[in-house]
Chains A and B, each alone.
Chain A
Amino acid sequence: MVSFATEKKQDLNLLSRIASGDGHGENSSYFDGWKAYEENPFHPIDRPDGVIQMGLAENQLCGDLMRKWVLKHPEASICTSEGVNRFSDIAIFQDYHGLPEFRQAVAKFMEKTRNNKVKFDPDRIVMSGGATGAHETVAFCLANPGDGFLVPTPYYPGFNRDLRWRTGVNLVPVTCHSSDGFKITVEALEAAYENARKSNIPVKGLLVTNPSNPLGTTLDRECLKSLVNFTNDKGIHLIADEIYAATTFGQSEFISVAEVVEEIEDCNRDLIHIVYSLSKDMGLPGLRVGIVYSYNDRVVQIARKMSSFGLVSSQTQHLISKMLSDEDFVDEFIRESKLRLAARHAEITTGLDGLGIGWLKAKAGLFLWMDLRNLLKTATFDSETELWRVIVHQVKLNVSPGGSFHCHEPGWFRVCFANMDHKTMETALERIRVFTSQLEEETKPMVSTTMMAKKKKKCWQSNLRLSFSDTRRFDDGFFSPHSPVPPSPLVRAQT
């Protein structure tokens, strides 16, 4: 397919290298999981045997609160009779500074999601086309083609597209290990920095996601300080993707890099930047609200000019500014969201505990990092892919294999839990239970011959119909469950 595209391109002088290459990351074999879901999506009544989508990191648990608020506040819309007096002003508003009330409301929300431990300056808030747009903008601002960013593994596959595709920037992995809970150590950072140097890649920054996708872990104060010190010492940027800030469960605390820079004397703040979004914390990915928050004045200035390429719709800015200015609602929403996430997390982890399936202890996120290493035939990514295909096609759960997140060790899977209702979660757990008990049954019978034992072991493999010739773990990467996106009722509604 790639060669056909190249041929076609040469014939017609049609596309740029960027457009005809694989930099978008969507040509990965992992798309089988998405395809399987799209061909046969689970529905409790219409398709009870369909594939359950557990590869989509969405927060759907508090949609009812959001909906209630919108119905109760027609004036937040510029289209209802209560709000239409603002229609023309808002419809013509394309100032890339954004509505002042929008920036103020977002700044306030960012403070609340960080337990009011820090202040955010509304004048440093720059809009972007979701966190996707924010990341690309930051890359364009901080790096030239050929430069590199260090990124701890495992990381969100979409970074391959967002940070590299059109910018020409490289990603240099910082290897983290399960042996210490995938912590980001200074040793690992130094090793990655050295690797980059050997490959002649000038390192321009370090990008961390905190809370982590896919791990769900949060960085503690010590670690954050060490990251700030490391980057400051090297004179490189620190970009903190904090889009899951409000997804910490129950009592867990989230510490933002914003808090830590206040505590470090002589911190060079010109090197500190935050990427934020309302897609995860508020469950509003469709509204495309991304934010670049930088402590560097020049970056704010230029990112703002770049935001022309992905401004937030003024209609949305207006709605969000009204919603986030309702402090009672926001407080209730954050509180309730954390409780529901905690409850859902408890539900799935209790279920997995009961089945002897391990998972990384984490305090945040819309997913958990499941440990299936003991189910691998061999500790290889080939094996992980085999197991993954069984889970997708036979257990009918679309989960995301660790290899797609550039995890260093095979056998880990990201499982999303906040994008479905309670009954679906129960069904998913039941399927896992059936699968694991089948495995147990098949390996149980004690036979004397070794041959028989070998035959019986991991016999889910005999059901495999697919080939695994391409294990392009280090390819441009499995694209995240960002697009293509599962069939939405809005798509089906057309027919």
Chain B
Amino acid sequence: MKQLSTKVTSNGHGQDSSYFLGWEEYEKNPYDEIKNPNGMIQMGLAENQLCFDLIESWLVKNPDAASLKRNGQSIFRELALFQDYHGMPEFKKAMAEFMEEIRGNRVTFDPKNIVLAAGSTSANETLMFCLAEPGDAFLLPTPYYPGFDRDLKWRTGAEIVPIHCSSSNGFQITESALQQAYQQAEKLDLKVKGVLVTNPSNPLGTALTRRELNLLVDFITSKNIHLISDEIYSGTMFGFEQFISVMDVLKDKKLENTEVSKRVHVVYSLSKDLGLPGFRVGAIYSNEEMIVSAATKMSSFGLVSSQTQYLLSALLSDKKFTSQYLEENQKRLKSRQRRLVSGLESAGITCLRSNAGLFCWVDMRHLLDTNTFEAELDLWKKIVYNVKLNISPGSSCHCTEPGWFRVCFANMSEDTLDLALKRLKTFVESTDCGRMISRSSHERLKSLRKKTVSNWVFRVSWTDRVPDER
């Protein structure tokens, strides 16, 4: 229809990708333990459903916040009228402190530099509008969250140029990959405005190393461009290592309050750490006042509901709750991840060693007929339609190597996870490859365990070096 904009008639929303198609298939036939036990199990949804009980019991203990009261008096009328795009000061203060807590209180966040947005979806788009002209490019390491194609490019007209990362070094960002991406952008006549990284990474489930973060800060300094660090999974770090934020690195390099620090921005959200995606709470944090100012005005297009701000400011201001929550959240995520990893192992499947996130980056290259994306898609279709598991193929995340899949583990019960693993194991064993594996599975598992332990040992003693593989 020529009366509609090109945004409507093109596919810029990116939702024709397999990532979203899998969801559609799930919706047609969703698993239910009782009503639909043969239905599709959703493993493509990066949600954190493990700690609702903690929030629910907090609500029971805090009836005022729960019923929009202050000192026993309903403040509904005030909330109903509050539409100031600066956001509720109490809420921003609580957000800032929560972000600090997640980073071990090693860095500070000034509430005045926080801009609220309707989820990180809106935060990322808003930052693009602030930093890039149509046709400008941001460099993103692959694989990356498929939603970025929509959030960063669709309505802004910005471009994404991939920084190719490979399994040979655990998909870490290297200097040469950065330079290559920059040169690629130049070849395409695209002005590079910045780099955007997700830390911890979606879909990898790994946090960036200090080496990578230093590299990134040096790179954007030398090129005089921006760095956006999407840290929405920062509270899901469950490994032995502590989460290192780009803010930590700025501090350690003594770059705070410098011109470089004004080009480093953090995106945050409560959708993953607190498991509240429905509430649409996102945030941009920037040290540059002009960006805070412009983004604040833009937030009019997606403010956070005042009743939500009020509830969450009370929740996050309760430090006893937040510290207990963060600790318990990490424990439960770790245990769940372990369950998935060992279940996959028993099916002869390994993952990239992860220390964060709500998913694992699973290596199914050995199950491909050929080392191609067509084969990956074939395998994916079998898993979706025959095994009835919705997992996300690496190609939808722009991975350059076929055979990797993102599998989520925190959005279902333990029983459902076990069932999913059972289905997968049955499927693998039914394939030629699976039969081979099961014959030598004992040997394979032994060698896998050895590898895993040695990686762990290697990592603990050489934290700042590049391991051969994660």
**A residues apposed to B, CB below 8 Å:** 5, 8-9, 12-20, 24, 26, 58, 60, 63-64, 66-67, 70-71, 74, 77, 79-81, 84, 87-88, 90-94, 129-130, 132-133, 136, 140-145, 147, 161-162, 165-166, 204, 235-237, 270-271, 279, 283-288, 296, 298-299, 302, 305-306, 308-316, 319, 482-485, 488-491, 493-494
Report whether A490 and B311 are in contact in the complex, using a CB–CB cutoff of 8 Å.
no
Contacts A77-B67, A81-B60, A140-B155 given; indicate if A485 touches B83 (C-beta within 8 A): yes
**Is the CB–CB distance between A129 and B301 below 8 Å?**
yes
Report yes or no: B74 in contact with A67, Cβ–Cβ below 8 A: yes
The reply to whether A79 and B82 form a contact with Cβ atoms under 8 Å apart is no
10 contacts between A and B (CB under 8 A): A8-B290, A16-B133, A20-B290, A63-B77, A142-B3, A309-B125, A310-B301, A484-B84, A490-B78, A490-B306
- What residues on B are CB-neighbors of A271 within 8 Å? 3
Assess the B67–A286 pair: CB atoms within 8 A: no
Chain A residues with Cβ below 8 Å from B37 are none
The 10 closest A-B pairs by CB, nearest first: A314-B278, A286-B306, A79-B66, A19-B294, A313-B305, A310-B302, A129-B302, A494-B89, A88-B52, A19-B130
Q: Which of A286, A302, A310, A484 contacts B122 (CB 8 A)?
A: A310
A319 to B68, CA, bound (A): 12
B224 touches A13 (CB 8 A): yes
Given the interface pairs A71-B74, A80-B67, the reply to whether A143 lies near B5 with Cβ below 8 Å is: yes
Q: Are the CB atoms of B1 and A270 closer together than 8 Å?
A: yes
**Do A493 and B90 form a contact, CB below 8 Å, given A235-B3, A311-B280?**
yes
Q: Max chain B CB contacts within 10 Å: which of A17, A236, A298? A: A298
Q: Which residues of A contact B301 (CB under 8 A)?
A: 129, 132-133, 136, 162, 166, 309-310
User: How many residue-residue contacts, CB under 8 A, span A and B?
Assistant: 281
The answer to whether B169 has its CB under 8 Å from any CB of chain A is no
Within 8 Å CB of B155, what residues of A?
140, 166, 306, 309
**Is A494 a contact partner of B90 (Cβ separation < 8 A)?**
yes
B7:A490 contact, CB within 8 angstroms: no
- Of the candidates B13, B288, B310, the one whose C-beta lies within 8 Å of that of A14 is B288
Write out the residue numbers on chain B whose beta carbons fall within 8 Å of the beta carbon of A77.
66-68
Q: Which of A74, A142, A314, A490 contacts B67 (CB 8 A)?
A: A74
The reply to whether B118 and A84 form a contact with Cβ atoms under 8 Å apart is no
Cβ 8 A contact of B305, one of A58, A136, A315:
A315
Interface residues of B (CB under 8 A from A): 1, 3-8, 13, 15, 47, 49, 52, 55-56, 59-60, 63, 65-68, 70, 74-86, 88-90, 93, 118-119, 121-122, 125, 129-134, 136, 150, 155, 193, 224-225, 259, 262-263, 271, 275-280, 288, 290-291, 294-295, 297-298, 300-308, 310-311, 411
Contact of A24 with B56 at beta-carbon distance under 8 Å, contacts A80-B63, A130-B303 already known:
no
- Taking A144-B5, A490-B310 as given, write out 10 further A-B residue pairs in contact, using a Cβ cutoff of 8 Å, ordered by the A residue number: A12-B262, A20-B294, A58-B81, A67-B77, A77-B67, A80-B66, A91-B279, A162-B301, A287-B306, A494-B90
Contacts of B118 in A (CB 8 A): 129, 288, 309-311
Q: Is the CB of B259 within 8 A of A12?
A: yes
Instruction: Say whether B82 contacts A91, CB under 8 Å.
Output: no
Could you tell me the distance in whole angstroms from the C-beta of B103 to the nearest C-beta in chain A?
24
| Chain B residues whose CB sits within 8 angstroms of the CB of A237 once the complex forms | 3
Residue of A nearest to B14 (CB): A305
Measured in the bound complex, the distance between the Cα atoms of B56 and A90 in whole Å is: 12
Q: Are the CB atoms of B305 and A79 closer together than 8 Å?
A: no
User: Which residue from chain B places its CB closest to the CB of A71 in the assembled complex?
Assistant: B74
Residues of chain B lying within 8 A (CB to CB) of residue A70: 68, 74, 76
Taken together as a complex, chains A and B put the C-alpha atoms of A273 and B88 apart, in Å, by 33
Which residues of B are found within 8 Å of A8, using beta-carbon distances? 290
Q: Whole-angstrom distance from the CB of B460 to the nearest CB of chain A?
A: 35
Complex CA distance for A65 and B78, rounded to whole angstroms? 14
A16 touches B131 (CB 8 A): yes
| Of B52, B63, B305, B307, most A-chain CB atoms within 10 Å | B305
Complex: chain B residue closest to A82, CB-CB: B67
Chain B residue nearest to A205 (CB atoms) is: B3
Residue of B13, B74, B130 touching A305 (CB-CB under 8 A)? B13
Q: Which residues of B contact A296 (CB under 8 A)?
A: 1, 4
The minimal Cβ–Cβ distance linking A97 to chain B, given in whole angstroms, is 10
Q: Which chain A positions have C-beta within 8 A of B70?
A: 493
Q: B60 — which chain A residues lie within 8 A by C-beta?
A: 81, 84
The answer on a CB contact under 8 Å between B298 and A94 is no
Minimum C-beta distance from B284 to chain A (A): 12
On whether the beta carbons of B303 and A129 are closer than 8 Å, the reply is yes
Contact across chains for B79 and A87 when beta carbons are under 8 A apart: no
Partner of A17, one of B86, B133, B150: B133
Taking CB atoms, residues of chain B closer than 8 Å to A130 are 83, 300, 303
